[in-house]
Every structure is written in structure tokens, then in C-alpha cells.
Structure 1
Amino acid sequence: MSASPSSSVQAARRVLADRLRELCEDAGLDGKSLAAACGWHPSKVSRIATAKTSPSADDIRAWCRACGAEDQTADLIAALRAVEGMWVHWHRMERAGLRRAQEAVLPLYDRTLWFRAYSPGLVPGLLQTYRYTEDVLRGVQRRRVPVDDVAEAVAVRMERQYVLYEGHRRFAFLLEEPVLRNALGSAETQREQLDHLLMVSSLPHVSIGVVPTQLGRPRMPVEGFWIFDTAQVNVELVSGYLTLTQPGEIKAYADTFLMLADTAVYAARARALIRAAMSSIG
């Protein structure tokens, strides 16, 4: 597994490495003995045991066999898969097309009751109209996905918006003001999208805040992110999709969301900014 920018991924890799090292110690083996039993160079054992290299599933099978702990193999491979799932490159997630990537997150949306999202560049997916979504996903497909299943992917994204209209869930969206004027697609598409934002903002369990563009505003570079309950954060980066589950990192994003929320405007003031953006469309 390639290294990711997330300390969550590194922490999970260290936990897996510690479990493998403990198996070796419990079996009374040192690194050289384990390497000999597996037919490896001793440096490979050292790299895996110190989390410098992520093992493969076959490596885990060989390690457990050498330690006489084959009953641990399935659990350790499951842990490996969990670590690998924290950081997924786009080419891996989207190699079969965009529809499957959209379907993969449906269970997460089904079980989440409290959604928080910050977007510096685009309207968040749950708030997008059909044509706006089509423009977004068409742009993604042209950049990096050889399979053209945009229509099917749009349908899946539209389907998952049902959660927005279930009153037992809560939603808090923060949009940077330029999102309202990003000129994505046609003028008609943008007007329709902004009108949809006005409609959704009237739902009692939905909060839409707009962070105004203003001089002297204290800010730091923040990527767009989603917080699902208090269980995980997802971040879409240029190279891949990051899932954070470490409590400390979830708290860091929750704190950042609160900081940004304090700078946003809501209700009538937010709707005024949306209407001003609509009026500016040629």
C-alpha cells in the first residue's frame, strides 16, 4: 500500500505491525528465524514489523504459518483490508466506472444521522440538481475514467438524496461564497442549482451556511470534507479518497467545521447571497 498523507493510515499500519510482531515474540522467534521460515530476507521482516512496508495477504499467511498462529490469519488479513480501505486512489475506486464508486457510499449515507459538509469549490452532492451533477461527473469522467457510465452514476447520486428529506436526520452544509458563482455548466444549470439551494434551505432539519468572501478574513487552506456522525471523515484529494476514523483527526475536522461555521451567514443573509449570485448570471 502506498503511503498516504493521513496519520490515521499510518497509525492503523502500526497497529497491524505490532500485532504481527507480537505473534513472532509469542512463538519465540526472532527476525532472522522468522525470515528463514518464510524464505525472506531478514530486512523484509524488519520493514513489516516497523510498519515501513505494508504486508500483502500472502505475507500475512506466511507469517502466521511460521509462528504457528494460522488461526489468526483471517483476522489479520481483514485488518489489512481495513487499512488499505482508508486511502484509495481514484484509479482504483473508479476503474470500473463512476456508478460503482457512487454505489459504494450508499450504506454510509443510510446509517448516518448527522451530516456535516464543508465545500470550497462545488455544491455538495446531496444538494446538487440532476444537471449540475451531470456536469460534475462528466468532468471527472473526461479527466480520469475511461468508462462512460455518467448517466448511471448521476442516477445513483440522485437516488441517495432521499436521506435529505427524512426528518430524523440533521444536515449542516458550509459553502464558500465563490461556490455560488463558479459558472459550472450553462447559465440555466447554475440558476436552477441556486434556486434548488433556496428550496432546500427552507427544510427545518437542514442548515446551509455561506462563508462570505471578504478582506481581512482569517483563514487557512482547508480541503472540502464530510463528517458522518462522529464516526468518520471523508476527504476528496487530487490523488484519492481519504477515510479518517481516528478520534483525534475526526475532532480536528469537527473543530475546523465549527471555526468555519462561525464565519458563515445563514437564513435570510445566506439566501440574499444566493439570490445575488442568481442575479449576476448573464
Structure 2
Amino acid sequence: MSTSPNSSARKVQEALGLRLRNLRKDAGLTGRELAAATGWHFTRISKLEHGVQTPTDADIRAWCAACGAGDQEADLVAQARAIESMYVEYRRRGSAGMKQLMLAFQKTYETAEQFRIYEHNVIPGLFQTPEYIRAMLTFWMRFLNTSNDIDEAVAARMQRQTILYEGRRKFTVVLEENALRTWFGTAETMAGQLDRLLSLMNLPNIALGIVPAMIERQGVGSAGFWMFDDKLVTLETPTASIEITQPQEIRLYDRMFDLLRQSAVYGPDARALIIRTQSEMNTSN
């Protein structure tokens, strides 16, 4: 496999190479000894360890077998598979219109049973009103210079929300208070969005927590992220979607989500925060 063209994936590739090198050293093998054990040319060992090439599944199996590290195989395979797919540019994915971005991960949404969502400055897409969606996507269409299919994009996102009402799925959501106060659209749009949050909190399969702005807290999230079961974590930059499938990385996100969850308030306290935000918004207008 060739070297990935983007810097984010390249860093992951280099980290994978470092893990392979450490396995070899822990096994007490030189590069030439590992090459002999696997039947490869010794220069291939160097390319894999320095992240110049990404190993195939077969390469990882052979490497782990030679190093007596079979317990590391699954995690290394997941890390290798993530390299080419983890970073997807929105402009490339959205070249056919914003609707295609809204349909990303459709299969994942349909099959996942447990959703864990953390957002620090936006209401999660599954909870958004049509007006909020329209205001937000209008900005992103201009920013990314995608074709204008706003009606189809809004409809696609709203259609996805039907999974909220299928009782077999569980949604644990943690929002920073700032997400309630970051406006997309008009005051009326935001008021309707906050009403929508209050309504969704009544669903038995939704646990919505809000982290107050000025409290001593267990952890600080640097970016919003979504966890689908224990199989996938996604997070977004202004230009791309990053997809994480490596079990070791997913476990770290699990720890971070738990820390953020501990800092949130729920039930009546969360409702009070939302209602207070609504009241302050009405007062300022």
C-alpha cells in the first residue's frame, strides 16, 4: 500500500510503524533477523517501521507470528485499516451535494445499538430542528463551496432522526453549556431548538447531560466526537471527517467520555440550564 497523502493519516502510519519496531525489539530480533523469519527483503522491514509503507493484514500476521505477539494482531490490523479511510475531506465527499454528507455513515446509524455523543458548540444532528439544520448547513455549503441542495440535505438529516424512536437504541449525550448558547439562525430558531431538547429529554432511551460552563470538572474535551457502540469513533474538523476504529484509541475515547459525563448535570438540573438559557435569550431580545 502507498503512503497516505494527508498528514493526519501519515501520523497514524508512523505510529503504527513505531509499534511494529517496538514489537521487533521486544522479541530481541534485528531487522535482518525479522526479514529472514518472514521471507522479506530487509529494506521492507525499514519501510514498514518508518511509516513509508502501510502493512497489509497478511504482513501484520507474519510480523506478530515472528515476534511472538499474536495478542497484538487484531489491534494492529484495525490501526492499519484505519489509515486509508480515517480522514475523508468534506469537499471531496460533498462534491455531489450536501445531501451526500448527511447520508455518510448511514449503515453505521442503522446498525449501532449504543450512541455516545459529546458536543461542545453545536446541537447533535439527531436532535436538530429543520430550521437549525437549514441555518447550519447554509453556512457549511458556502464555506465548502458545495452545490446547493439544501432542501434534500435537510430532509435527509430529518429522516435519520427516526432512529430516536426505536426503543432498542440508547443515546447518551453530553453537551457543553456553550452548545446551548451558540446560535445557528435567528433567536426564534434557537428558541425552537432548545424546546426540541426539552422534549427529547422525555424519551426513556435518551440520557442528556449538560456540563455547566463554570464548574470544577473531571475532564475537558478538545473536540466533539461520536461513539458508535465500541466499534467506531468519529469527529469533525472544519474540512474533514476523522474515523477511528483502532480498539486502543476507542478505549481512550471511552475514558474521556466517562470523565465528561461525570461533569454533566441531568434531569431537572439539565432542564433548568436549558430554561435559563431560553430566558436569558428572550431578555436580550
Q: Same fold (TM over 0.5)?
A: yes
1:184 and 1:190 in contact (8 A); partners too = yes
Does residue 170 (structure 1) correspond to residue 170 (structure 2)? The answer is: yes
d(CA) in 2 for partners of 1:159, 1:12: 39
Answering whether residue 151 of structure 2 is matched by residue 147 of structure 1, we say no
Whether the aligned pair in 1 keeps the contact of 2:82 and 2:246 (CA below 8 Å) is: no
Residue pairs, 1:1-282, within 5 angstroms: 1=4, 2-4=6-8, 10=14, 30=41, 48-50=47-49, 52-54=51-53, 83-217=83-217, 219-281=219-281, 282=285
Shift of 1:186: 0.5
Distance 1:104 1:80 in 2: 22
- Cα distance, 1:93 vs. partner? 2.2
Indicate conservation of the 8 Å contact 2:99/2:152, yes or no. yes
Structure 1 pair 246–170 and aligned structure 2 pair: CA distance change class (3 A): same
Residues 29/223 of structure 1: CA separation in 2 closer, same or farther (3 Å cut): closer
Question: What TM-score does the superposition give when structure 1 sets the normalisation length?
Answer: 0.76
Deviations 1:189-221 (A, max 9, x none): 001100000000000010110100115445435
In the alignment, the residues of structure 2 paired with residue 11 and residue 226 of structure 1 have an alpha-carbon distance, to the nearest angstrom, of 23
In the alignment, the residues of structure 1 paired with residue 134 and residue 53 of structure 2 have an alpha-carbon distance, to the nearest angstrom, of 38
RMSD of aligned C-alpha atoms?
A: 3.3
Structure 1 letter corresponding to 2:235: V
- 135-144 or 87-96, larger mean C-alpha shift: 87-96
1:52 deviates by 3.0
State the 1:262 CA deviation. 0.8
Contact map agreement 1:94 1:145 (CA 8 A) in 2? no
Which one-letter code corresponds to 2:8 in the other structure? S
CA contact (8 A) 1:13 1:83 kept: no
Taking structure 2 as the reference length, what is the TM-score of the superposition?
0.75
Count of aligned residue pairs for this structure pair: 248
Q: Percent identity, aligned pairs only?
A: 35
* Structure 2, unaligned runs of 5 or more: 21-34, 55-78
Moved more, 1-10 or 83-92: 1-10
CA distance in 2 between counterparts of 1:13 and 1:203 reads 46
- Contact kept, 8 Å, 1:8 with 1:249, in 2: the verdict is no
1:26 CA drift (Å):
8.4
Q: Which deviations, in whole Å up to 9, do the C-alpha atoms of 1:16-70 show, x marking residues without a partner?
A: 9xxxxxxx968966368xxxxxxxxxxxx68754453357xxxxxxxxxxxxxxx
CA distance in structure 2 between the partners assigned to 1:53 and 1:154 by the alignment = 42
